[in-house]
A and B are shown apart, each in its own frame.
Chain A
Amino acid sequence: MDIDRPSDPQVSVVSSDGTMFHTTLKSILLSGTIKDMIEHIGEGGVENMGAIPLQNVDSKTLEIVIKWIEHHKDNIQPTSEEIKDKTADFIDPWDENFLEMDLDKLYNLITAANYLNIPQLLWLSTRKIAMLIKNRTPQEIRSLFNIEDDWTPQEIEAVQKENQWCEEK
């Protein structure tokens, strides 16, 4: 499909809770999942195609995703292999700013990026979580992410012993 043509047709997507969003073909093709789908339909089909239903993404999250893909539609997207390399630790300030959101939204965004197969967005959002985990104790991590402490007392004791040794070091 010729992505570079000047006219960038409108495409509609529908969230799981039934809200319709309009965006452009160029933006939506950043999603590997949708790109595959559209490639099956063929070039002629895009204009006649109806709204694309996205069963796993709610309207709040979809709005965020669309904001991101529209901003990045003209950029060359790195392949999954390049992302795996993870050497380039430069985050676009726009992205940095974009990811300032509460944790619930961030989880939803990760799930959506994973489902829609947008490698760069998945990379950015998972990295954000990793940065939150880094340099925090297990207890701090639990309270930050609201995770239930499901260890037995014996196990906790063992962990404490381990930590004690760490501190001695």
Chain B
Amino acid sequence: MDYLPNEVLIEIFDYLQKDSIWNVLNVCRNWKNVVINSTRLLKKLEASVRPSSIDNVLEEYSSIPITSLMLNTLVAKEEPNNLNQFNEKLKNLIEKHKTTIEFTEMIFSRMEFLTDYISQLSKIKHLNLVNARARNEPQLEISLENLPKFPHLKLIGLKNATHTLKYLQHHQVETLKCIDVENLSTGRNISEFMKVTKSLKEVKFMGFIPHLIEIENFTCELTTLTILIKGQTETQSNSILDLMRAQKNSLKELRLIGFNTSGFVECAINELQLTKLEIDITRLKFPLTALKVNKNIKNLSLQVIAQQNSQLIKIIEVLPNVENFKIISNTNIGFNEWIMKVNDTMTRLKNLSIDALMTILPPKNLNLKSLESLTVSKLGNEFHIHGFIQLASRCPNLKKLIATGYGVKFMQTMSDEGEIVEDTTLCRVEFLTLLATLPKLEELELRGKLTLTDEIVEILISDFCKLKKFNFSAEKDWNLSQKLKKLNQSKIQCKILEIDNGKRGFKRKYSEER
């Protein structure tokens, strides 16, 4: 084994997980050196620290550099004495590793820890503050001012962020994401922050709307604003309206989900020149006149419910320049009327995504010539699938097709990332033979249970003439690799999105932030 070059050893060790790499470290001197000198392998030995484990971490990493350190959320009623001890030990740990330590993402649960080793930090790109609180103000002030510059800041659940933002004002933050940071004084601090942080481009408020003040004095020029909430008060509406008005020259992308009144949205959008709009109109009447001003919107995403069919048609009518259109609904919104409107007005439409329960029966004269990519989700039964194929057959220039099996009914008002995909027998021979008639199809993605039978492989190879990529959710199958090989030989690149191992079903995708 000694005569294998070190770079080959690194390749070998790279297959291993944390536990196995610990064993590798103890095999011999050379192996240990290989691990210690490879940043790639060291990253796998991420240290996770909490008061109960600090001694172990100190010992474990006594001769191994730490490249990534994570501080776990601490028990709230930690004894102050213990905390001091912990702090002391943590300081030791950091001092010991200061030559090699590099933090790319730090999660702080309590500010007083931040204060102690802040000067040791070398590189931070993302700073996440989770339930952070500060007790010792002067110390905090010093430490935060010494913090290296970083562009992305995420605040989660800060109950008392009075000082945090104040000291982060000079850090050229570009993205600010606040999740559940509701508190009056926080609103003032966020205002203060936006007033002086010129570099700020993107702001996201999730679960709350801050009470912003002196909006007219903000120096930042926002291009993107995202607000995800569950209903709002009138004061909050006004606050957001003022913000959008003040930022009307730069604001191009707007995402508003979960609002229950629309008057202010109308007022605001009226004055903006948007290119991207994502809005949930399930609980409000949509501001039509306002949209007429925003004819340049290229990316449109709408969440609607069944009763809003006529409104939906009116919206489509006033936005002829849309290139990417996504429609989301948890109810059956009907199909024929709005799709004909899309057909007649949105002549530049390239990508269409339908994430709704619907029985599609395309009208005879439907012909979506400009469409290059079609995504259809929540296909549950025979009728859905049949309709979907009918729809695809009306898009002669389609290059990319993505179909997803029936999704669990999941309220998407809060987060569109929180998608749960369940298995549905989606892919059968008849289905594929029909899709094969699309003359320009290059990429096909089928999410939902798929047994890759020999027959299906044969169809993919011989019936689809231009197919280059095939992505699918697979069922566990011992001959899968053989079949994939066969497809590869016919120049079809395959990617398995997830594997059903028969026990736990598909891996589920959950939202990143919630």
User: Contact residues of A with B, CB < 8 Å?
Assistant: 74-76, 86-88, 90-93, 103, 107, 110-111, 114, 122, 126-127, 129-131, 133-138, 141-142, 145-151, 158-159, 161-162, 165
In the complex, A142→B482 CA distance in Å? Answer: 36
Residues A90 and B481 in contact, CB atoms below 8 Å apart: yes
In the assembled complex, how far is the CB of residue A140 from the closest CB belonging to chain B, in whole angstroms? 9
Q: Is B235 part of the contact surface with A, judged by Cβ < 8 Å?
A: no
Residues A146 and B60 in contact, CB atoms below 8 Å apart: no
Closest Cβ neighbor of A134 among chain B residues: B20
Q: Identify A134's interface contact among B16, B29, B480, CB under 8 A.
A: B16
In the complex, A135→B62 CA distance in Å? Answer: 23
Residues of B within 8 A of A162 (CB): 26, 59-60
Q: Identify B8's interface contact among A110, A133, A135, CB under 8 A.
A: A110
Q: Identify A126's interface contact among B15, B20, B482, B491, CB under 8 A.
A: B15
Closest Cβ neighbor of A114 among chain B residues: B8
- Interface pairs A-B: 8 shortest CB-CB: A130-B15, A90-B481, A138-B26, A145-B1, A126-B12, A138-B27, A126-B11, A129-B12
Q: Is B2 part of the contact surface with A, judged by Cβ < 8 Å?
A: yes
Closest Cβ neighbor of B480 among chain A residues: A90
Residues of B within 8 A of A88 (CB): 484, 496
In the assembled complex, how far is the CB of residue B352 from the closest CB belonging to chain A, in whole angstroms? 29
Residues of B within 8 A of A158 (CB): 62
Q: Is B23 part of the contact surface with A, judged by Cβ < 8 Å?
A: yes
In the complex, A107→B12 CA distance in Å? Answer: 12
Contact with A along B21-58 (1 / 0, CB 8 A): 00110111101000000000000000000000000100
The interface residues of chain B, by DSSP majority, are classed as helix
Number of interface residues of B (CB under 8 A): 34
Residues A90 and B484 in contact, CB atoms below 8 Å apart: yes
Given contacts A134-B16, A146-B1, 9 further A-B contacts (CB under 8 A): A91-B481, A92-B481, A133-B23, A135-B20, A137-B23, A138-B24, A151-B28, A158-B62, A161-B59
In the assembled complex, how far is the CB of residue B100 from the closest CB belonging to chain A, in whole angstroms? 20
Q: Identify A122's interface contact among B11, B23, B488, B491, CB under 8 A.
A: B11
In the complex, A38→B26 CA distance in Å? Answer: 44
Residues of A within 8 A of B76 (CB): none
In the complex, A151→B28 CA distance in Å? Answer: 7
In the complex, A127→B15 CA distance in Å? Answer: 7
Residues A75 and B3 in contact, CB atoms below 8 Å apart: no
12 contacts between A and B (CB under 8 A): A76-B488, A76-B491, A107-B3, A111-B4, A114-B7, A130-B14, A133-B23, A134-B16, A134-B20, A141-B23, A149-B28, A165-B60
Q: Is B365 part of the contact surface with A, judged by Cβ < 8 Å?
A: no
Residues of B within 8 A of A91 (CB): 481
Q: Is B138 part of the contact surface with A, judged by Cβ < 8 Å?
A: no
Residues B8 and A111 in contact, CB atoms below 8 Å apart: yes
Residues of A within 8 A of B5 (CB): 111, 114
In the assembled complex, how far is the CB of residue B12 from the closest CB belonging to chain A, in whole angstroms? 5
In chain B, positions 98-149 with a C-beta closer than 8 Å to chain A are: none
Residues B23 and A75 in contact, CB atoms below 8 Å apart: no
Residues A75 and B1 in contact, CB atoms below 8 Å apart: no
Closest Cβ neighbor of B15 among chain A residues: A130
Residues of B within 8 A of A131 (CB): 15
Residues of A within 8 A of B484 (CB): 88, 90
Residues A165 and B11 in contact, CB atoms below 8 Å apart: no
In the complex, A133→B31 CA distance in Å? Answer: 12
In the assembled complex, how far is the CB of residue B16 from the closest CB belonging to chain A, in whole angstroms? 6
| Given A126-B15, A130-B15, A142-B27, A75 contacting B8 (CB threshold 8 A) | no
In the complex, A114→B6 CA distance in Å? Answer: 12
